[in-house]
Structure 1
């Protein structure tokens, strides 16, 4: 019996691996592809009703109106009349690929022990064969910023594309930014300790801010000195101080946001981005003056406070965009990895609360690309940029018509199959057979 058990486990693991493995990444583009007749949503506010899109060697070469070109299209020609073409959607501030199953500790790599961890890199923990990552592609979400969680300084994020063998193949921009979880200025009463359950000031807020400020000052002093003794956290701050690495500060309340802007000035920080920023509409003028972009928290939420408008999460993007702030949409929160596939529908929701469809589209394409610093290659359908795009049968911001027919990452046509689509086909066939009986 013992010998039998010894052989059963490896066989089961082998079988499980064959079931859960991701679709094989697509090969490199080997011929030109021309998409003709589709409505092209360029991502910068421009819409071309009858377009020609041509790409070779993974790069876009032509994006124009069909009336301005001849009829000789190179390579494989895709007739897309009546369909729509979009740049691949970008999911910022995501933990995709860092956690597969919340209840399985061994599959959770989103957090590390400690509070001040600027040297921790999320990229090396990224699982390119995640089934959850695979499920993003059928909705047009083709790129993501993979960010760590936990601690005061969580570590650095990296930007990846969602069709790869491993993290080395997936990476588009390595260690793009540092993520800081700003201290909470308020807290809820601990009922289990007999405290009033209402919201009250956090007595440790000033102390937490001082600790964060001291870390920045000490890191600067260390980098300015001889550095005789290695200090990995301080060394990791070099690219933060010289502006090469962005600083994503996660903060929500009005007071916290004001303190973030003051912190930026005090430490002369460049490239600061606010993440979440729930109360940002209250201090929009200050945010605009500081030239700080905002990644607005998940749209499909209820208000955080009882006295707030019921639709505040839906219209926050509009309120900030109206003030001239560069805005992108992010999806963190409960079930955030699974919910990231709903990114286009968050953009669709904000169109009902003040924003045009072109402005909403920017918030998951060109605006996000600018905020992440990858707008030279992603975010819009323009010659010279990566051919990362997809063809939808209808409006990609509407869950009723977002039906991705074909998708390409850097010119490679990727599979739109996933574990979920395979199960859908399996049970559709099953119940179809039963109906015939």
Structure 2
């Protein structure tokens, strides 16, 4: 009897902390009528009719201009808003659960040149942090490894799955490189001046990176006796199938990245961070380089920057013709990724406007990641990954989801946090009576 009680106790604990069970495959058509539809490409339909079945959008149109027959389950959404699912690039979601518990940290591997490391196979679909993205409309993400000079290979997933095989949208989409800095901060604990000074290792670090690329090309053009997994992983980089993401901030470093792109004949290259990208806009446009801009809710890096420069950077680049999206790496990045829509809302208030800002977490992100044929906008034929919000989803006050769908499947919006909210709300409501 004692053992049965213990077993039941553990079962209750497990159920209270487990992720929501993934939704079943869509079996019935869904019609959303009357909502303001924000298509993700800058267009808005005030009174929309959206139909999807078998996981795909079949109709996206103005409800007042059609007599289209409604199909399946009908959701009356007058006064509400419909958006394509938001996409979080350069995220470590599902790779780390608790920072202080080493066994839950799979974001980094030992070594420097690690193109063969694949984040996808370490992605934890049961993560409670991943689950907490969904109530804010963040339904997809690019899962990226960290560390080393070449961190490894990312993959793109959706956030409602039993395992990584079910979650994947695009497998091994990109290679991630941490570009060296031309400056280093003095180590005060070693008696050095704590200010910035030129790095003596900068040119050496770039040379080592170039040498790795050269050696990989030589390996792939020969018939080696032994397999080198790191070099083998570079094959799709040189062919252009795998995109290259270079994490870099300084203007000088960005110009060196441009030279590196030409030297290595890299076809698809994107900057991640790009804090000083506004200083080299012409070079970025001439070389067709997109930028995943760091999150705007941050303080300026330099003493002479405008106090609101991080808010304006995405707008400056976008308005000058650079393809831009938002990423959220940095302090507490996994938890803060749920704030992605509010980052976009801030950029909208500082030079972009709401519909252009929406592109930074939908269609622009999909284009940069190479998945715009599937997601990123509400268009006929695309995957039905979308949500309904009571108000403006880029505003904390309006981002209140009533329904969310991934691949046409209606997903749960309950999380560990919402369970605690309901639990303590009931406690205090009872106490006040």
Q: In structure 1, what is the Cα distance between the partners aligned to 2:147 and 2:203? A: 20
Whole-Å Cα distance in 2 between the matches of residues 267 and 277 of structure 1? 20
What is the root-mean-square deviation of aligned Cα atoms in Å?
1.5
Alpha-carbon distance between aligned partners in 2 of 1:323 and 1:219, rounded to the nearest angstrom: 36
The answer for the alignment partner of 2:393 in structure 1 is 396
1 CA distance for matches of 2:95 and 2:347?
28
Aligned-partner Cα distance in 2 for 1:356–1:261: 30
In structure 2, distance between residues paired with 1:34 and 1:139: 22
* Residue among 216, 219, 231 paired with 1:219: 216
Q: Structure 1 pair 57/325, CA: closer, same or farther in 2 (3 Å)?
A: same
Which residue is 1:59 aligned to? 56
In structure 1, the residue matched to 2:77 is 80
User: Could you say if the C-alpha distance between residues 394 and 218 of structure 1 is closer, same or farther in structure 2, counting changes exceeding 3 Å?
Assistant: same
Q: Deviations over 1:9-49 (max 9, x none)?
A: 98876554333210000000001100000000000011000
Residue 384 (structure 2) pairs with residue 411 (structure 1): no
Residue number in structure 1 paired with 2:248: 251
Question: In structure 1, what is the Cα distance between the partners aligned to 2:248 and 2:275?
Answer: 8
Q: Which residue of 1 aligns with 2:353?
A: 356
Displacement after TM superposition at 1:228 (Å): 2.2
Structure 1 residues 405 and 7, CA gap change in structure 2 (3 angstroms): closer
Counterpart Cα distance in 2 of 1:352 and 1:376:
29
Q: State whether structure 2 residue 94 is matched by structure 1 residue 102.
A: no
Cα drift, residue 394 of structure 1: 0.2
Distance (whole Å) between structure 2 residues aligned to residue 180 and residue 157 of structure 1: 11
**Distance in structure 2 (CA, Å) of the matches to 1:75 and 1:157:** 37
Q: 155, 176, 179: which one pairs with 1:182?
A: 179
Query: How many residues of Structure 1 are paired with residues of Structure 2 in the alignment?
Result: 432
Partner residue, 1:241: 238
Q: Which residue of 2 aligns with 1:270?
A: 267
Residue in structure 2 matched with residue 130 of structure 1 by the alignment: 127
> Which among 19, 28, 32 is matched to residue 31 of structure 1?
28
Q: Pick from 281, 296, 301: which aligns with 2:298?
A: 301
Partner of 2:145: 148
* Consecutive unaligned residues in structure 1, runs of 5 or more: none
Q: Distance in 1 between matches of 2:346 and 2:5?
A: 50
* Change beyond 3 A, Cα 1:271–1:75: same
Q: Any idea what the Cα deviations from partners look like across 1:227-273, whole Å, max 9, x if unmatched? A: 22100000000000000000000000011101000000001011000
> Matched residues in 2 for 1:227 and 1:245: separation?
23
Q: What is the rounded CA distance, in whole Å, between the counterparts of 1:348 and 1:49 in structure 2? A: 20
- In the TM superposition, residue 204 of structure 1 has moved relative to its aligned partner by 0.5
Return the offset for 1:297: 0.4
TM-score by length of 2: 0.98
Q: Does 1:311 align with 2:305?
A: no
Secondary structure of 1:354's match? helix
Q: Which residue is 1:44 aligned to?
A: 41
**What is the CA deviation profile of residues 60-84 of structure 1, one whole-angstrom value per residue up to 9, with x for unaligned ones?**
0000000222152011111000000
The aligned counterpart of 2:225 is 228
Unmatched 5+ residue regions in structure 2?
A: none
Q: Secondary structure at the match of 1:300?
A: coil
1:255-308 deviation line (CA, Å, top 9, x unaligned): 110100000000101100000010000111111111000000011000011111
TM-score normalised per structure 1: 0.97
CA distance in 1, matches of 2:400, 2:46: 19
Match of 1:420 in 2: 417
**Which has the higher mean CA deviation after the structures are superposed, 24-33 or 63-72?**
63-72
Q: In the aligned structure 2, how far is the partner of 1:223 from the partner of 1:233?
A: 11
Structure 2 distance, partners of 1:17, 1:182, is 43
* SS of residue matched to 2:352: coil
Quote the offset at 1:356 in angstroms.
1.4
C-alpha distance in structure 1 between counterparts of 2:239 and 2:376, whole Å: 26
Instruction: Write the distance in 2 (CA, Å) between the matches of 1:156 and 1:223.
Output: 18
Hey, what's the Cα distance between the residues in 1 that align with 2:407 and 2:81? Answer: 18
- Are 1:371 and 2:368 matched, yes or no? yes
